[in-house]
Structure 1
Amino acid sequence: MRISFIGLGHLNSAIVAGLLADGYDPENLIATTHSEASAATRREEFGISVTAEENNPGTNAQAVADADIVVLGVKPFHIAETAQALADALRPDTVVVSVAAGTTLATLTSVLPEGQPVVRTMPNVALTVGKGVVGLARGATVTDAQVTQVEQLFAASGTVFQLSENQLNALGAMAGSGPGYVFRFVNALAAAGVELGLEEQVAQELARLTVVGAGAMLDHHDADPSALEDSIATEGGTTQAALNSMDANGFNDLIIKALQANVTRSEELGA
């Protein structure tokens, strides 16, 4: 397959890196960026063809002309106009894939030629380390074979979950933004360690290693987080005392409210 990437931000770059690491032929990958400086950096990094809008305003249309799959990796508020600008250059069987939060299939299909295959995805930033999570919702005209091709696009850098579109915002609130919550927790854990008398550098390293270790314990198909929690939190022990405090202060409610705020914002972006 020939795959074109419109934009090479974190997510599209991670997908490209995963494909190349998996042995994909760089001759079949092409990308565009806004600036020539960025294009030059990515050409050197990936060894693929990268062109810049700065030098050639028509470069996006040229990049998609022979593509089997086009991955739109621009900001959510630019997705519709970018898709519309590419519409006339697309082959009827080219699959257009969005990695933008909030942008609906209806929005994309409204600016693309009638019948154009469209797939909406919701990846997270862990694609950059080959541990990503990707939600995928298919448009009405996408074939099973095309969905499989899109799944393979992400398989080298993450795990794909095929969902209905109305479930994507929930996945985005959990997994799409989830790394950000974990990073916030690590900072809070480190700050608490400093409050308890540790040096800041030591507290930060302890917090980081603690979460890395816990993640490794969870990184098994049969891992049960509740069972793992029970194995650590013995009755009347120190861990249980801390967990009881979390419960008393509404920890679970705080998480639910945070995810609800996330979904609300996704809905606003898609309005």
Structure 2
Amino acid sequence: MSDSKDAPTSDTLPRIAMIGVGSMGGAILAGLRAPEVDIALPIVVTTKSVTSAQAFAGDDDVTALSSEQDADANKTAVRDAELVVLAVKPWMVRDVVREIANDLAPGAVVVSVAAGVPSSAIEDKLPDGVPVVRAMPNTPATIGLGVTGIAAGAAATDAHIELVRRLFATVGEVLVVREDQINDIAAVSGSGPAYLFLYAEEMTQAAERRGFDEDQARVLVQQTIVGAAELWAHSDDTPEELRRKVTSPKGTTEQAVLVLQEANWGELFDRALAANARRSEELERGE
């Protein structure tokens, strides 16, 4: 990729339109609305229902348009936007792109957060040369602790990628990857919170079976996860090294770890991530 002199260079994020503000779109919007973010206002968002749009009534930094009330809401939203974020369900992306294609402002960058929709499928429905960037954020973006993988489409330059990186830096860490890595980003971090919550669910139930009540089990498991994550975040040690520091030879932790390791977690995670990536590939094929 090479820099484009036509791409934005200001430290201020340009005018943004968001098509859809569900769970992920809402998380991104929350990051953009943080007081420390320098951004051209207002941010224009579109929702399906009038009720969802009315939730932004009286907000100076957001203009909300409802497609239920105005069939051209999406078209109107993108006309003055330099960044257009597609935060709708994957099955809706192609229709939305087809709808807004002729109303995009010159030089606008289209950003998709939809799993299983390759940039080529979006580019096919846009005028030639419109830059497309795929992004795969995760739900901790809601509290500014997300991690997002971003990948350039055919027409996206280094400058466009940097602009999109700054967009997602408002909600956490950002990795620039190849598009053929996006499905694996989805498998590791996009779906990753669900894996951790499954662990928390099972661990909580196990604690309850050991005699703790529901509230006690929740506190024990939740604070253990939060504390361990913070310990890792503030340490230069690898997870393996941190685990060893907790695991005394012939001690109680070692006995539990041996039982878990007998289940072959490495092979289990390989299978889980492969299944996740395989489903993304099926979505790309329209299956």
Query: Deviation string for 1:157-213 (max 9, x for gaps)?
Result: 111100001111111101000011111110100111111121122112211111011
Counterpart Cα distance in 2 of 1:197 and 1:8: 42
AA matched with 2:129 = G
171-180 or 242-251, larger mean C-alpha shift? 242-251
Match of 2:120 in 1: 106
Does the 8 Å contact 2:67/2:73 carry over to 1?
yes
Does the 8 Å contact 2:33/2:61 carry over to 1?
no
Match of 1:58 in 2: 72
**2:103 alignment partner, one of 76, 89, 99:** 89
Shift of 1:93: 1.1
Match of 2:238 in 1: 224
The structure-2 alpha-carbon separation of the partners of 1:45 and 1:245, relative to structure 1 and needing over 3 Å to count, comes to farther
Counterpart Cα distance in 2 of 1:82 and 1:124: 22
Note the residue ranges of structure 2 that are not aligned, 5 or more in a row.
1-13
Does the 8 Å contact 1:36/1:54 carry over to 2?
yes
Shift of 1:27: 2.2
Matching of residues 91-240 of structure 1 within 5 Å: 91-220=105-234, 222-240=236-254
Match of 1:2 in 2: 15
Q: Which has the higher helix share?
A: 1
AA matched with 1:66 = D
Note the residue ranges of structure 1 that are not aligned, 5 or more in a row.
none
Shift of 1:232: 0.4
Counterpart Cα distance in 2 of 1:135 and 1:145: 16
The structure-2 alpha-carbon separation of the partners of 1:223 and 1:31, relative to structure 1 and needing over 3 Å to count, comes to farther
Shift of 1:23: 3.4
**1:261 alignment partner, one of 263, 267, 275:** 275
AA matched with 1:102 = G
Shift of 1:55: 0.5
Shift of 1:224: 1.4
Match of 2:262 in 1: 248
Shift of 1:92: 3.7
The structure-2 alpha-carbon separation of the partners of 1:129 and 1:54, relative to structure 1 and needing over 3 Å to count, comes to same
In percent, how many aligned pairs have the same letter? 38
The structure-2 alpha-carbon separation of the partners of 1:221 and 1:57, relative to structure 1 and needing over 3 Å to count, comes to farther
Counterpart Cα distance in 1 of 2:256 and 2:60: 47
Does the 8 Å contact 2:15/2:40 carry over to 1?
no
The structure-2 alpha-carbon separation of the partners of 1:6 and 1:214, relative to structure 1 and needing over 3 Å to count, comes to same
Does the 8 Å contact 1:26/1:48 carry over to 2?
no
Does residue 1:12 correspond to 2:25, yes or no? Answer: yes
Does the 8 Å contact 2:151/2:161 carry over to 1?
no
Counterpart Cα distance in 2 of 1:13 and 1:207: 28
AA matched with 2:22 = G
Does the 8 Å contact 1:8/1:31 carry over to 2?
yes
Does the 8 Å contact 1:93/1:116 carry over to 2?
yes
88-97 or 56-65, larger mean C-alpha shift? 88-97
What SS does the aligned partner of 1:119 have?
A: strand
Structure 1 runs of 4+ off > 3 angstroms? 23-26, 42-47
* C-alpha RMSD of the superposition: 1.5
Does the 8 Å contact 2:101/2:126 carry over to 1?
yes
Counterpart Cα distance in 2 of 1:270 and 1:7: 21
Q: How many residues align?
A: 271
AA matched with 2:273 = L
Question: What TM-score, normalized to structure 2?
Answer: 0.91
Counterpart Cα distance in 2 of 1:93 and 1:189: 50
Shift of 1:252: 2.1
Shift of 1:25: 4.4
